[in-house]
Structure 1
Amino acid sequence: MKTKQMSETQPKEEFLESLANGLKVLNIFGAGAYTLTIQETAEHLDVTRAAARRLVLTLEKLGYLQQIGRQFSLTPKVLDLGYAYFSSLGLHDLMRPIMQEIAAEIGETCSLGVLDGQHIVFVAREETGRLLKLDLNVGSRLPAYAHSMGQVLLAGLDKDGLDRYFQQATLKPLTPYTYTSKTALKDLLKKVREQGYSISVSELVEGFAGVSIPVATASGEVLAGLGVSMVLGSRGQAYLEERVLPVLLAAAPRIRAAIPDRGR
C-alpha cells in the first residue's frame, strides 16, 4: 500500500522500484526466513525469476547476502544498516553521561556494544585513569558467548534470532570456565534474561571479569549492551555482585528513560 501511494504522489522517475524490492528482500529475512532461494524470492515479491535473480545476486555482490548451494542467507554486513540507526539515534550521546558516571564511580572502563553475528562490537567506551586496562577499543570484536555484554545481547534476542545464533555458533573452550555446551549456554541466557544482567568471570580470558546490563527501550527492545570489564586480581565474585552490579542496576531506569521507544 505504501509503495502504491508513493508512486501516485511522486513522479515515477523519483521512485526506484528495484531499490524498493532490494529492501523488501532484506525484510523477508527480518520476518523470519533464514534462507531463501531465487524462486522463493520471486514468489515473495511477485516478480519474475530473472528479476529476483538480479536482486539477490546484487545483494550478494554488495556483501549483504551469502550463497550456499541454491540458498541465500544474510551476512553480518546488514548490521551496517543498523549502525546508521544508532548514529541517527545518537545512542552514544545519550549514554555518555551515564557511562562517565559509572566509570568514575567504579573506577573501571565502561563500554557500550552491539551484537554483530556471533560477536559483540564495542561502539563507545568511557575510560578512567586506571593504569591497568584491558586492551580494547571502539570497534574491537569479542565472541558473544564468552563475554557478559554478549550474554545480555544474546538474551535479548527473540526465539528466531537465538535459534539462528545457535545454528551458526561455534563454542570454543577459551578457558576452563568457558561455556562450550549449547544447552548450558541456553540455560544461562534464560537466567540472564530473567534477572536482567550478566556476570562473567574468566570465561573469555582467565583473570578477567565483566558485568553487563541491556540497554533497552521501555517496551523491552534491547538495542545494545552496557558493561564494565576489568582485571579481577585479588577481587572475587562477591566484589562484582556487591560493588559493580548495584551501580549498573541503579543506572538502568535512567537508561530506559533516555532511550526513545520505537514501539513493537
Structure 2
Amino acid sequence: MDSTLPETSEKKEEFLDSLANGLQLLRIYATGVASVTVQEAAEQLDVTRAASRRILLTLEKLGYVRQDGRQFSPTPKVMDLGYAYFASLSLPSLVRPVMQDVARALGETCSLGVLDREHVVFLAREEAPKLLKLDLTIGSRLPAYAHSLGRALLSTLDDEALDQYLDNAELKRLTPYTTVSKTALRKLIRQVRSDGYSISVSELVDGFAGVAVPLRNHEGKVVAGLSVSMVLGARSPDELRRQHLPALQRAAATILDSMPRSGI
C-alpha cells in the first residue's frame, strides 16, 4: 500500500483547484447564464467569496469576462477556446469536404456556425461561384434571431435558456420582414425545434434566404449548425425546403458518421 501513496499524493498536488474552478465558471456561462456576481459564482463553485472574486478578476484580466458593476459577463474572447477545440478535432478535414460537396451540389454558400449568446458565429464557410453573396468571413457574427442558422441553434435550447435569450435579446427590424415580436419569435423557434430545420426568408437581408439544421454528436449533443444561404429570387419557402433541406440533412448525417464516438 505504501508504494501507492506517493503517486496518489503527486496526482493531488498536480491538480490545480483554481484552474478547475475557472473552467467550471466558464461552463456556467455555457449553460445560458448571461452574467454572475461574486456571490453567485461562489455559490455555484462552492468556494469562498474571496476565491470567487480572484477567479473572476483573473478571467477579466485575461479578457474572458467583463465587469459591469456587480455583474461579470463573458466576452467574445471565450470563443477562442471554442476555435481551439474545433481545431483540435481537425475541423477542416472533418467538415470542409462535406461542406464543399454541399456548395457544389446546390450552387450556394455553405456555412458552419455556433451560438454565442445572442449571435451566431461562423467557424467555416464554403462559397459557390455567385455574383451576389453576403460579405462574411470566419469569425463573423450575426444576430441569431434573424438568421436561419441562429434559429436552428436557438431551437436546441431548453425552454428556460430560450426564455432567458428572449428576455435579453434586442430584436431590431433589419428588413421589413424581420420578426421583432418576442412572442412570434418564440413560436417560430419552437416550430423549428419540432421540424428539426430552419428556413429564414428576407429577415436578415432583404432578398436573401437560408436553410439550416443543427449538428449533433453521437450522444445527441448539439455541437454546431450547418446552413446554406442564397439569393431568394422567385423561389418560395416550400421550394427551398424541397431543393436544399435534403442535401443539408445528408451532410449532417455524413458529418456525424465521421465524428469520433468520444471527444466531440
TM-score after normalising by structure 2: 0.86
List gaps (5 residues or longer) in structure 1. Answer: none
Match of 1:120 in 2: 120
| 2-structure distance, mates of 1:258, 1:32 | 28
| 1-structure distance, mates of 2:76, 2:7 | 30
Alpha carbons of 1:176 and 1:94: their partners in 2 closer, same or farther (altered >3 Å)?
A: same
TM-score after normalising by structure 1: 0.86
Alpha carbons of 1:30 and 1:242: their partners in 2 closer, same or farther (altered >3 Å)?
A: closer
Match of 1:175 in 2: 175
1:66-215 maps to which residues of 2 (within 5 A)? 66-215=66-215
Quote the offset at 1:262 in angstroms: 5.0
Instruction: Tell whether 2:11 aligns with 1:10.
Output: yes
Q: 3-state SS of the aligned residue for 1:133?
A: coil
Residues 43-79 of structure 1, C-alpha deviation per residue, up to 9 Å, x if partnerless? 4445443332222112222232233332333334323
Quote the offset at 1:162 in angstroms: 2.1
Alpha carbons of 1:26 and 1:140: their partners in 2 closer, same or farther (altered >3 Å)?
A: closer
Residues 146-184 of structure 1, C-alpha deviation per residue, up to 9 Å, x if partnerless? 111111011122334323322321010111211101111
| 1-structure distance, mates of 2:119, 2:33 | 21
Aligned AA for 2:135? D
Match of 1:250 in 2: 250
| 2-structure distance, mates of 1:24, 1:242 | 43
| 2-structure distance, mates of 1:173, 1:6 | 61
Q: 3-state SS of the aligned residue for 1:113?
A: strand
> Could you tell me the percent identity over the aligned residues?
59
Q: Is the 8 A contact 1:156 1:221 kept in 2?
A: no
Compare 21-30 and 213-222 and name the one that shifted more: 21-30
Number of residue equivalences: 259
| 2-structure distance, mates of 1:102, 1:197 | 16
| 2-structure distance, mates of 1:243, 1:32 | 34
Match of 2:235 in 1: 235
List gaps (5 residues or longer) in structure 2. Answer: 1-5
Query: How large is the RMSD of aligned CA atoms in angstroms?
Result: 2.7
| 2-structure distance, mates of 1:249, 1:217 | 14
Residues 189-238 of structure 1, C-alpha deviation per residue, up to 9 Å, x if partnerless? 11111111111110011110111111112332111111111112233334
Match of 2:3 in 1: none
Q: Is the 8 A contact 1:216 1:259 kept in 2?
A: no
Aligned AA for 2:206? E
